[in-house]
Structure formats: C-alpha cells, structure tokens
Amino acid sequence: MEDFFAGRQIKFILGSAGGGGYDSYSRLLMPFLSRHLPGHPSFVLQEMPGAAGMTAANHLYNIARRDGSEIGMVGRGVGIEPLLDPKDKAVRYVATNFNWIGTPQQEVGLVFVRLPSPIASMEDLKTHELIVSGTTSAAAPSYYPRLMNALLGTRFRVVEGYKSSQEALLALERGEVDGHCSGSSSAALRARMEPLISAGKVKILAQLGREKDPAYPDVPLILDLAANSADRRLLELAFTQQVMAWPVVAPPGVPAERVQALRTAFDAAMKDPDFLAEAARQKVYINPVSGEKIAALLEQLYASPKDVLDRAAALSERN
C-alpha cells in the first residue's frame, strides 16, 4: 500500500459549494486521512457542486480513476435517491456499487418557522400553508417537505432555486419565505439559528431523522408523528440518509486492498485525539459511521419488499 500512496496526490471531490457543512467536514478530514494512510499522500480539494451532490457522485462513478487516487464527499441523499426516485435521470450510478468509506457524523434535520406565525405545531401545518426555501428538488430542504405533505398531510410549499443551504437559510432570515426544512442540525446551522430562536424570531417545529438530537429534547421527532407502522417504516427508509450524513466514497472498481486502506485510515482518523480536538475547536460534531456499516445498511434497504419500495417511490414523485 505504501508504494501506491507514497508521494501521490489524491483528488478529493467535494459535492457541494464551499462554505457549508460538506466543505467543513472535508477540510477537517483530509489531513487526518493523509496521516493514517500508508505513505501519507497529500490531498487536493476540487469543488463539484450540483444536483444535491449527485454531480460529484456521477463523476466518481463514471469518470474518476478507479485506483484509489480519487475519492470524495457526496450528498447524503446519493445512497437512497435511486430508491426514492427511480425515474430520476440525474442518477447515473448504482449506489451499492460505490465503495463507501464512512461518514464523520450522523445528522438530524429541523423544521423552522419564522415568527410571528399562526403555525405553532406540526398539527397546525395540516390547515395552514408554510412557504419554505429549497435548493434542488432532490435535496433535503425540498424533498423532506414533499414527504411530510404526502405522509402527514402537512401543507408545505417549497420555493426552489436557492444555490445553497446557506442562501436558503438567508431567505428565511430576510423574510423571503416563512420556513425552512434543514438537512442537519450542524454546529454551523446552530450558530446561525440559535440567536434567532433565542430572540423569539424563529421556532423549531420538528426533528427530521431516525433519532432525536439531544439538544432539542422537547421538539417532536417526525417518526413519532406517523399515523401507523407502515408510514413510520417509510419515514425510516427516507431518513436513512441522515445516518450517512456526510458520506465519503470511492469509485467502484478500486482494488479491495486500497479500499480497505482508505476505510482503515478513516476509522483511525475518527479516533485520533488531534482530529477530535480540532473538531471540538471548530465546533464540529463527530459521531461516525463506518463504510462497512453504510454499505450493509444500503444493501438491506435495497432488499426491502417491492411494495415498500414502490410506495416510497410514489411518495417521492415531484409535483
């Protein structure tokens, strides 16, 4: 392994614009991957935003070198988008064929409403429309509202076209929209939103994920609002992407021993005291999931009964 990695420059594809969570986690991670890989290769970051990380995923799957010298961080929805929208022509990959390296953090999204508002709870969203800011149709801020409309009877209306999650949040702050459904509760998002929450200008209505963020114990988890077990199962499937919130992947076809070296380096980085200290300094949360676990979870999801997958796909169709 050292013979391959020593003196090599590894291209790290970033599937989003700079300045957000994907950028922060990628820049934090790269030097520690270098530290723990044999031969200590250098890394160079290349931004490749578009289609909620699928542009980068398509590049890594179809164009990138398959020797371990190109990896990247793609959008969290990349793993399950083919399940949720089998007709999506932007998908040019097979998710289970990627070599998943790991994610440094699991996530929980949040539903924000700008105050004052007649909407005080998710129940109120069944009778009152909430205009929320979105980016692209496959991204969490657009997809999650559609899912909740279909399963919970809420009345979100998504205004798409904001270039990034940062711009979508700015639209909420400016009053261009009345709400926002985030894909995470990251440190950067909390730092931005907590002053507005403390000032009584914004309220959190629900948490979007498979588990609660302990920082918001009194805010309901969306799974607990499901009307029945079948609906809850669909929500669990959809929010699996929160488990692989900041996923690092390598292309298919990379030699197995190099994939293992990348996974071993990732796992070692997640336990590195210097990495954890730097994450704490940057106020970045670390709660990793290994590449092996992500791969196994996706294999399980793609083996779900056809009726479950068909319903998930139907609920995800764009209007």
Higher pLDDT, 2 or 154: 154
State whether 20 and 102 are in the same domain.
Answer: yes
State whether 249 and 102 are in the same domain.
Answer: yes
Is residue 41 reached through a cis peptide bond, with omega within 30 degrees of 0 on the bond before it? Answer: no
Instruction: Give the rounded percent of residues in the chain with a pLDDT score beyond 90.
Output: 67
Residue tagged 């799974």 (tokens)? 223
SS3 181: strand
Higher pLDDT, 319 or 166: 166
State whether 139 and 95 are in the same domain.
Answer: no
SS3 177: coil
pLDDT, position 319? 46
Whether 99 contacts 249, CB under 8 Å: yes
Residue 98, domain CATH: 3.40.190.150
Structure tokens at 174: 């400016």
Mean pLDDT of the chain: 91
Question: At which of 213, 240, 267 does a domain end?
Answer: 240
pLDDT per residue over 92-110, tens digit each? 999 999 999 999 998 899 9
Higher pLDDT, 43 or 233: 43
Domain count, the chain: 2
Question: Using CA atoms in the order 150, 106, 52, 114, what is the torsion angle rounded to 10 degrees?
Answer: 60
Question: At which of 193, 217, 240 does a domain end?
Answer: 240
State whether 61 and 164 are in the same domain.
Answer: no
| The most confident of 24-33, 46-55, 176-185, by mean pLDDT | 24-33
H-only helix segments in the chain: 2-5, 21-36, 54-62, 81-84, 140-152, 165-174, 187-198, 229-238, 256-271, 273-281, 291-302, 306-315
Pairing label, strands 9-14, 179-181: unpaired
What DSSP state is assigned to residue 65?
-
Secondary structure element (H or E) that encloses residue 102, with its range: strand 99-103
State whether 131 and 92 are in the same domain.
Answer: no
Question: At which of 208, 225, 240 does a domain end?
Answer: 240
Instruction: Identify the domain containing residue 166 by its residue range.
Output: 109-240
Q: Is the pLDDT of residue 116 over 90?
A: yes
Whether 20 contacts 165, CB under 8 Å: yes
Cα–Cα distances (Å) from 137 to 90, 107, 167, 170, in that order, read: 11, 20, 15, 19
Structure tokens at 61: 């799957």
State whether 229 and 275 are in the same domain.
Answer: no
State whether 212 and 120 are in the same domain.
Answer: yes
Whether 264 contacts 248, CB under 8 Å: no
State whether 131 and 226 are in the same domain.
Answer: yes
Closest CA to 78 of 157, 149, 143, 147: 143
How many C-beta neighbours within 10 Å does residue 17 have? 17
pLDDT, position 83? 86
H-only helix segments in 7-124: 21-36, 54-62, 81-84
Distance of alpha carbon 124 from its chain centroid, rounded?
A: 27
How many C-beta neighbours within 10 Å does residue 176 have? 15
pLDDT per residue over 6-45, tens digit each? 999 999 999 988 777 889 899 999 999 999 999 999 999 9
State whether 129 and 249 are in the same domain.
Answer: no
State whether 127 and 193 are in the same domain.
Answer: yes
Structure tokens at 208: 């979007």
- What are the φ and ψ backbone dihedral angles of 279, each rounded to 5 degrees? -60, -40
pLDDT per residue over 279-309, tens digit each? 999 988 899 999 999 999 999 989 988 888 8
Q: Is the pLDDT of residue 163 over 90?
A: no
State whether 258 and 280 are in the same domain.
Answer: yes
- Residues 6 or more apart whose CB falls under 8 angstroms from that of 196 comprise 173, 202
Confidence class for position 180, pLDDT limits 50, 70, 90:
very high
Residue 122, domain CATH: 3.40.190.10
Structure tokens at 32: 């520690």
State whether 115 and 88 are in the same domain.
Answer: no
- Residues 3 and 54: their CA atoms lie apart, in Å, by 32
